[in-house]
Structure 1
Amino acid sequence: MDTKPPLDGVKVADFSRVLAGPFASMMLADFGADVIKIERPSGDDTRHWVPPVDKHGMGTYFSSVNRNKRSIVCDLATDDGVATARAIATEADVVIENFRPGIMEKFGLDYDSLRASRPELVYCSITGFGKTGGALLPGYDLLVQAVGGLMSVTGSLDSEPSKVGVALVDVLTGQNAVVGILAALRSREASGKGQRVEVNLMSSLLSGLVNQASSTLATGESPQRMGNAHPSIAPYETMTTADSPLAVAVGTDKQFAALVEALGVPELATDKKFLNNTTRVANRVELKEVLEARLVAKPASDWAELLTENGVPAGKVNSVVEALELADRLGLEPVVEIEGPDGERTSQQVANPIRLSETPAQYRLLPPLLGEHAGATFTTPTEGRSSHD
């Protein structure tokens, strides 16, 4: 492919660690940005979060968000390390950092210090709770899920509050960082000036609560944990079958009629207790009992196939292995394999979820070894390559 990637020529100095920042810089790198990952001598924290490791011994947590980057080591406790970091930062179009407030200022790597010599710089700071009242609070995903209300609506009413199975708040924050950076770069095209981009985990979570936060603002009441049920739609939850849970996501009366027809109880569609979504929500407990009495007759996979054929959104609860296999069968090409220049190191990665018809994501570089690209400087723009080169 001869078309340049959309972020060709964009230079990113990535001082971030763990998940939100590295996720953001990887998304930029996938679309052609030249990302230099600046690490302390001990490396990104997630290099040490093992097991599991891949076949080459690299921690899978680290490798999941660090492809397409070059790694250098800068010891900010030394003058040489600070000088190297400043040289890279002042050449960059974008700086990403997630240090505690005050750390970057200590080394002259903060936005105000850098923009004096590089006014076009886009500077993205990622924090846990902002830089004012929550500046000293530790920004760990679990903590934010707890104090930000997500755990209060996750789990069943009779269970303890539960976190989501991945660091979802970090991922949301990383996505918000990408949007902010791209918006700032677009603005720079018109004004010639960079700007500061600030995102934090707490605000990202509150935004991500969407309908749950909206209902709280409208009613003044906090929603309760409902397991896998939905506060506004029924039946919209997991249900028991002969072998494993089945997710049923009925959002319309037409889908409900198709569901009960497939289950052999078409009369439920005209039952006044289940006639529309409002009445189904009011009688959700009874409705679930009636539906499960039919569903326990067959395995989840059989029901999923039958209901899907009849236009009812339904599916068995897959493992991650099964989910990847399903995506592959659907032609989504969920996995890419990146090969090093010597062919000795390879890494399987989940593909970038954004598909561009003319300038697709590219997978050029393996997740780097610590300091693998010592002495690296930013490269000049190059012609793009196909995502499957």
Structure 2
Amino acid sequence: MGIIEKQPIDYTQHPRVNSDDPVPPRPRPAAPAHVIKSDEEAIAVAKRLAADFAQGAALRDREGLLPLKEIDTYSQSGLWGINVPKAYGGPGVSYKTLARVIAILAAADSSIAQITQNHLAINGHIDLDGTEEQKREFFGWVLSGLRFGNAFSELNSKTVGAFETRVVHEGDEAVVNGEKFYTTGALLSHIIPIVAVDADEKGYLVFTDRETPGLTVSNNWSSFGQRTTASGAVKIENVRVPKSRLLPVAAFDRPTIAGPVSQIIQAAIDAGIARGAIDDTIAFIKTQSRPWVDSGKETASEDPFTIAAIGDLKIRLHAAEALLDIAGEAIDAGLKNATEETINDATVKTAEAKVLTTEIAILATNKLFELAGTRSTLAKHNLDRHWRNARAHTLHDPVRWKFFHIGNFYLNGINAPRHAWS
């Protein structure tokens, strides 16, 4: 569980957290990544890695240590390539399985699970919008063990969907200028896809090598939650790339699974946070909590109100996980047959899952302290990381709008909008 003790840390081996200092690129893998063969293997590998990642999760969060070794192990495991289609050498696992994989890992360390989020979503965009040449090249990178980061959102733009970063076409090259924030995964990546718009306001993913001149990545993420995701800033100054590395952002111009894929990964992370918090709550109650004086019980685990509360949390968690499975199945159906109807069905069902995973993540991480008692708030346990992570991560896209779009479809027959936050 989440109990940690103070250990000496060699900070020279880790980038400084909450710093504007530029961070050098990570080494590229010396050998190709493993290729997962089936959905069952993907789940088994995720469980094995989760058991390892959980051991140091509380310490990494407390000390602000980036999961360098863990991310290398993770990407070499083959899980970063699980939604590469079979036609391009990948396993092409179902999105139901992909969501389960992310939830398993997030229960162990939600920061590690989130670092994968944009990479997996980008894999989907490559499949939807890439040319055959780009698919072979870009998926080849993934299967070799290279990691995609992200440089999408901007800190000072009017809305999350507005982009001021510009790309200018110059012959066989493109030149990009701008600044990004919330760049989860970029610092630990090998290739950073940058969202930029040209003079005609056409959007592109510009696949840029992490070591390209003019590209500066800082670990200046200062949120109280998801501390070790390194979701800081990327500065882009006259960065040049071959035009062959420009992937049009066109998946939202037609019915595709792009939006639901992005959202189901978010929902799976929240479900994992909830499960990890509930597991830690149960373990703490059994081993360290005292029974309340009025209960007349010998142990905290015999308290009838505590027992009922744990039952309530488990029911809500299982409901959220069931909706996550249903959403994954709807996405898989939309991938096979993309129509307005099937894509809206996937979007709405994924939004329903996102509502329940958000609610159980916040409830479970709050209830932990009520049920485990005052001693569970001691700094040495760092159990507050669960609440901090849930509260920060669930802000990605507000569930108040999920209720609206879901209700507007069922009541008025109006389809949910198509974008990465719906």
> What TM-score do you get using the length of structure 2 for normalisation?
0.22
More helix by share: 2
Computing the radius of gyration from Cα coordinates, the structure with the larger value is: 1
> What TM-score do you get using the length of structure 1 for normalisation?
0.23
